[in-house]
């Protein structure tokens, strides 16, 4: 089984990927948070920082593109090829209202004919391989057979499937029947994504679906930096490992963004990391309320050094 780290806005940045891959190896692929090429056909400085393959895990990185314009997607693919990438991921699944209102992400699923035309143009002209990340429909699961028939016309490197509709967002049960439909006789690998948070969840999925080649993990991986290592038979993160990971990541963000912005980045991560700690909810609230960098420095250090009985509450 291969393990992918999902694209998470504000979390899986190039800084995070570099530090995480050094401290907790075991990820087969990191997917970048999406970027949206425009008709100007210029990469922004921020995009270049995220995409320029300079980190130790660069060979494991797949950029994700969010767009509804084939010409812009192909231009971005050409630029990625120049940077040394051999594949990109096309986002057809983001359920955010600000994204779908523009007809991007899961918004593309509302118009299957237009989606088909977009994919035909992209696959005909892209100089590098294309992988797809999709939901099973916009409003209802009954939309999925039509979408799947479109996807199967193209030589995708893979289909990463979150088996919920855009309307369902991240709530309710996943539609495993839709995943089974996609996996059965698929011309390309179908990667599962959705509601796998712990090592126990993932091992149960693997036992039930041994034919699945890969799973994509997001929120669970952000909450447990050692999750990928544990899935390969390694140990859970120790208190000291987590402290070192946190300090290295924070210092890397400080060097690039300055103290205040580094604190903001770490707050986003602590939304997930706090689940590791006894009393983590209260810790997360303290960190979220902190506006002073000195006080922020105090809260994570307290979490890593004070006695809380059992360090982890979920591992």
Residue 124: per-residue pLDDT: 98
pLDDT per residue over 8-33, tens digit each? 999 999 999 999 999 999 999 999 99
Length in residues, the chain: 315
Average the pLDDT over each of 56-60, 75-79, 132-136 and give the range with the smallest value. Answer: 56-60
Q: What percentage of the chain carries pLDDT values higher than 70?
A: 92
Mean pLDDT for 116-137 is: 98
Query: Which residues, 6 or more positions from 22, have their beta carbon under 8 angstroms from its beta carbon?
Result: 56, 248
pLDDT per residue over 229-271, tens digit each? 999 999 999 989 999 999 999 999 999 999 999 999 999 999 9
Residue 201: how many other CB atoms lie within 10 Å = 14
Residue 302: per-residue pLDDT: 53
Phi/psi of residue 70, nearest 5 degrees: -60, -40
Give the 3-state secondary structure of 225-290. Answer: CCHHHHHCCCCCCCHHHHHHHHHHHHHHHHHHHCHHHHHHHHHHHHHHHHHHECCHHHHHHHHHHC
pTM of the model: 0.92
Calculate the average pLDDT of the chain: 91
pLDDT per residue over 36-68, tens digit each? 999 999 999 999 999 986 655 666 899 999 999
Is the pLDDT confidence value at 287 over 50?
A: yes
Closest CA to 2 of 158, 129, 155: 158
Taking the C-alpha atoms of residue 184 and residue 203, their distance in angstroms, rounded to an integer, is 21
């Amino acid at each position: 089984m291969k393990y992918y780290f999902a694209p998470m806005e504000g979390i899986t940045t190039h800084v995070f990927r570099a530090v995480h891959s050094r401290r907790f190896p075991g990820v087969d692929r990191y997917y970048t948070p999406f970027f949206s090429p425009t008709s100007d056909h210029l990469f922004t400085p921020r995009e270049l920082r995220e995409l320029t393959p300079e980190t130790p895990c660069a060979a494991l990185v797949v950029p994700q593109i969010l767009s509804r314009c084939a010409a812009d997607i192909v231009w971005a693919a050409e630029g990625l090829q120049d940077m040394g990438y051999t594949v990109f991921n096309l986002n057809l699944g983001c359920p955010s209202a600000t994204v779908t209102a523009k007809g991007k992400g899961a918004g593309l699923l509302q118009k299957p004919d237009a989606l088909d035309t977009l994919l035909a143009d992209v696959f005909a002209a892209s100089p590098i391989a294309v992988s797809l990340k999709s939901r099973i429909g916009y409003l209802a699961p009954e939309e999925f057979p039509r979408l799947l028939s479109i996807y199967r016309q193209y030589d995708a490197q893979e289909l990463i499937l979150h088996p919920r509709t855009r309307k369902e967002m991240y709530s309710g049960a996943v539609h495993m029947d839709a995943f089974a439909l996609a996996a059965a006789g698929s011309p390309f690998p179908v990667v599962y994504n959705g509601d796998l948070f712990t090592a126990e969840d993932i091992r149960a999925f693997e036992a039930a679906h041994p034919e699945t080649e890969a799973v994509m993990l997001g929120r669970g991986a952000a909450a447990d930096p050692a999750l990928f290592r544990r899935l390969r038979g390694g140990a859970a993160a120790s208190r000291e490992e987590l402290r070192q990971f946190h300090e290295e990541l924070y210092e890397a963000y400080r060097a690039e963004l300055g103290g205040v912005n580094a604190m903001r980045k770490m707050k986003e991560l602590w939304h997930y990391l706090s689940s590791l700690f006894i009393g983590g909810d209260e810790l997360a609230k303290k960190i979220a309320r902190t506006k002073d960098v000195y006080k922020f420095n105090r809260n994570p250090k307290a979490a890593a050094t004070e006695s809380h009985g059992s360090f982890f509450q979920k591992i």
